[in-house]
C-alpha cells in the first residue's frame, strides 16, 4: 500500500487504514466506495465514515467530485485514475 503523508506529520493509524481501504477498493472495483460501504468495513456509523473522509479530503489525501457517486479517490495515486476530462470540476471536500 502507498504510504501517504500529511503536510507536516504522518497520518494516524486509522487515517492510513481508511486510505488503504479506498485504494484497495478502487483497484479491485474500479470506483470509489460509498460512505456506507466504508462504514460497514470499519464498523462505524455512516456519519463517522463521512467525517473521516471529509478530514482526509481537507488535508489533501483524498478528493471527491461533486454530484458524482463513488467518486472518493486518492489524490495523485498513479494506480488509480484521478485525471478528469478537460472542463470537469474537481474539489476537495472540507465539510463543516
Mean pLDDT of the chain: 77
Q: 2 pLDDT band (50/70/90 cuts)?
A: low
Cell numbers that stand for 59 in this block: 488535508
For 47-60, how does the pLDDT look when each residue is reduced to its tens digit (9 = 90+)?
Answer: 999 999 999 999 88
Q: Between residues 11 and 91, which one has the greater pLDDT?
A: 11
Helix, strand, coil content of the chain in percent (nearest 5):
40, 10, 50
Over residues 3-28, the mean pLDDT reads: 80
Quick one: CA dihedral 21, 22, 23, 26, positive or negative? positive
Over residues 59-79, the mean pLDDT reads: 80
Give me the residue label for grid cell 467518486. Answer: 71
What structural domains and CATH numbers belong to the chain?
13-74 (1.10.10.10)
Amino acid at each position: 500500500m502507498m504510504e501517504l503523508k500529511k503536510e507536516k506529520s504522518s497520518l494516524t493509524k486509522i487515517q492510513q487504514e481508511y486510505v488503504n481501504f479506498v485504494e484497495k477498493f478502487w483497484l479491485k472495483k474500479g470506483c470509489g466506495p460509498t460512505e456506507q460501504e466504508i462504514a460497514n468495513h470499519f464498523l462505524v456509523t455512516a456519519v463517522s465514515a463521512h467525517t473521516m473522509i471529509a478530514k482526509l479530503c481537507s488535508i489533501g489525501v483524498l478528493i471527491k467530485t461533486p454530484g458524482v457517486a463513488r467518486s472518493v479517490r486518492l489524490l495523485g495515486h498513479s494506480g488509480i485514475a484521478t485525471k478528469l476530462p478537460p472542463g470537469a470540476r474537481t474539489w476537495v471536500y472540507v465539510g463543516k
